[in-house]
Structures are given as C-alpha cells and as structure tokens.
C-alpha cells in the first residue's frame, strides 16, 4: 500500500505556436467531447441541448444539469486544479470542486459556477500523526457521503488520495455502483516504477483502476503507449493532454527565481 504524491512525470510541453499550454485549458476540448458523448446518449438531454443552441454557443449551457462535473482534487497542486476549474467553468460547465483549506481561494469562491466543497480541510504537513490519521479518515467518510448526494454524474479524479487499496478498487467500484461516470488524470502512469519501488500489488491495483475508468487523460503519447503496453488499456479510452510548463530557473546575474507556466 503506497502513499501517493502529487508530482507529475512531465514538467511541461509547448503548443505548436511555441506557447506554454496550461493543463486546465488543454483539457477542455477533449473533456467537452467526452461530456458530449455521455450527454447525447440521453435523447431528452440532447433535445434540451439542441433547444439551447449549445453547439453554436457553449456558454448557453450555463447551469444545465447535464454539463456538470465533480472535480476530485488531491487538496494541492493549485496551478493545475485552479486552471482546470477556470477552464471548465469558462465554457459553462458547473463544477463541484472537492478541495481543501489550501484551495479555498477567491478564484473559486467568487465563481458562480463553482460549488466549492472543502472536504479535506487542513492539509498542514507539520501536523502530528494523530491529526493526520483523523483527517484522512474524516475525508474518506465525507467523500463517500458526498458521492451519494452529488448532482454531477461525472467524477473527474485529478489525484488519488492516500491509500491505493481504497482509491483504486473500493472507491472506484463505489462510484460505479452509484451510476457515476469516472474519468482520471494519470499524471504518473506508474509512480512506483518511476520511484524504483514498484510491486505486483501496485501494478494490480493500477490495472483495476484504469479498467474501471470510463476515460483517462495523460500528458504525453509515451504515457498513452505505456497504458496500452503495460496495462492493456485501449487507445480509444485515452486522451493526450500536454501539461502546462512550470519551470523554475535563476535570472541572469540575480538569485531570484522565476516561475514560468500554468499560473
């Protein structure tokens, strides 16, 4: 059983024009196509969307229950999570944002299309072990209760939580039993392999999670090939979304650090 980090295998990529591509902005196109596929499977929803001329004007879908998603963050990774929420809401998608104290920021709280749910609370690294155990337990309980009452039918997992055994199997099955569609951003196809602590159990749990997902987002073609070769995931189930650049480097002649990228 592994504790999960929030470190991606990919530092960043550029668009064809040479500009940084933010993860949230890059994911909107494929995400909308995925949402559209699910939406148009329901004839009544398709009729309502046609009447709202959502095809010609995506902003006309604002508030439509068919275009809503629960964004399950890891409680951190602020640039990616905030960028994702901003990009989705900019095209009229309602977002249930599952966050923490660290993510309770004006950009989210002032957005009318974001329903901020602080299920994680305090995520301080200097908390003692007893506090960490309590808050992890409290989060899992809150998450299972939320899933039952959540209006979005689509759950997008940005990061797994703390325990692979729960995250990859029991929670995934729970979401599916509730009738939720689940998409997952695999920032690391296999973090255990990357960190040289892989095991058969880790690979088995990842295989279960990837197969239970309705769709998977990765950041490179290499990661897509890895999913296909090592976990036998069909290419049609995977979309490649380049990750926004986030590079720190020293200025010439100064000791300052410049953060360049998806902020």
Q: Which residue has the higher pLDDT, 145 or 61?
A: 145
Q: Which residue has the higher pLDDT, 263 or 171?
A: 171
pLDDT at position 26: 53
Whole-number CA gyration radius for the chain: 19
Q: Which residue has the higher pLDDT, 228 or 104?
A: 228
pLDDT tens digits, residue range 11-29? 333 333 333 334 454 555 5
List, edge to edge, every strand of the sheet that includes 94-98.
Answer: 114-117, 94-98, 68-72, 154-157, 181-185, 215-218, 238-240
Tell me the pairing of strands 215-218 and 181-185.
Answer: parallel
The residue among 40, 84, 82, 83 whose CA lies nearest residue 61 is 40
Q: What gap in Å lies between CA 199 and CA 204, rounded to an integer?
A: 9
pLDDT tens digits, residue range 83-107? 888 888 888 889 999 988 888 888 8
Secondary structure of the chain in the HEC alphabet? CCCCCCCCCCCCCECCCCCECCHHHHHHHHHHHHHHHHHCCCHHHHHHHHHCCCCCCHHHHCCCCCCEEEEECCCCCHHHHHHHHHHHHHCCCEEEEECCHHHCCHHHHCCCCEEEECCCCCCCCCCCHHHHHHHHHHHHHHHHHHHHHCCCCEEEECCCCCCHHHHHHHHHHHHHHCCCEEEEECCCCCHHHHCCCCCHHHHHHHHHHHHHCCEEEECCHHHHHHHHHHHCCCHHHEEECCCCCEEEEECCCCCCEEEEECC
Q: Which residue has the higher pLDDT, 246 or 49?
A: 246
pLDDT at 238 over 60: yes
* Max CA separation in the chain (angstroms): 63
Residues 201/237, Cβ–Cβ less than 8 Å: no
**Would you say the pTM of this structure is higher than 0.85?**
no
Q: Averaged over 195-218, what is the pLDDT?
A: 92
pLDDT at position 168: 93
pLDDT at position 73: 87
Q: What gap in Å lies between CA 142 and CA 229, rounded to an integer?
A: 36
pLDDT at position 245: 52
Return the top range by mean pLDDT from 53-67, 68-82, 224-238.
224-238
Residues 88/61, Cβ–Cβ less than 8 Å: no
pLDDT at position 44: 46
Q: What gap in Å lies between CA 206 and CA 241, rounded to an integer?
A: 20
Q: Averaged over 149-169, what is the pLDDT?
A: 90
Structural domain boundaries in the chain: 23-261
Q: Averaged over 116-136, what is the pLDDT?
A: 85
pLDDT at position 23: 46
Average pLDDT, the chain: 74
| Answer CATH for 23-261 from 3.40.50.2000, 3.30.420.40, 3.30.43.10, 3.40.190.150 | 3.40.50.2000
């Amino acid at each position: 059983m592994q504790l999960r980090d929030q470190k991606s295998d990919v530092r960043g990529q550029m668009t064809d024009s040479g500009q940084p591509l933010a993860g949230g902005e890059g994911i909107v196109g494929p995400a909308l196509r995925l949402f559209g596929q699910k939406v148009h499977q329901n004839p009544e929803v398709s009729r309502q969307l046609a009447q709202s001329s959502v095809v010609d004007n995506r902003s006309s879908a604002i508030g439509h229950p068919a275009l809503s998603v629960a964004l399950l963050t890891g409680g951190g990774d602020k640039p990616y999570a905030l960028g994702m929420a901003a990009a989705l809401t900019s095209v009229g998608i309602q977002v249930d944002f599952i966050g923490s104290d660290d993510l309770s920021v004006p950009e989210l709280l002032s957005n009318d299309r974001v329903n901020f749910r602080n299920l994680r609370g305090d995520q301080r690294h200097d908390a003692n072990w007893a506090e960490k155990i309590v808050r992890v337990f409290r989060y899992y309980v809150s998450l299972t209760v939320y899933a039952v009452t959540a209006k979005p039918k689509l759950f997008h997992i940005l990061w797994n939580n703390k325990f692979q055994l729960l995250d990859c199997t029991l929670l995934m099955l729970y979401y599916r039993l509730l009738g939720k569609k689940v998409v997952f951003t695999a920032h690391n196809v296999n973090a255990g392999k990357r960190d040289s602590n892989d095991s058969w159990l880790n690979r088995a749990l990842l295989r279960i999670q990837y197969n239970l997902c309705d769709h998977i987002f990765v950041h490179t073609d290499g990661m897509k090939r890895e999913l296909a070769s090592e976990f036998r995931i069909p290419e049609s189930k995977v979309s490649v979304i380049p990750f926004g650049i986030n590079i720190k480097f020293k200025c010439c002649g100064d000791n300052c650090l410049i953060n360049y990228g998806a902020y």
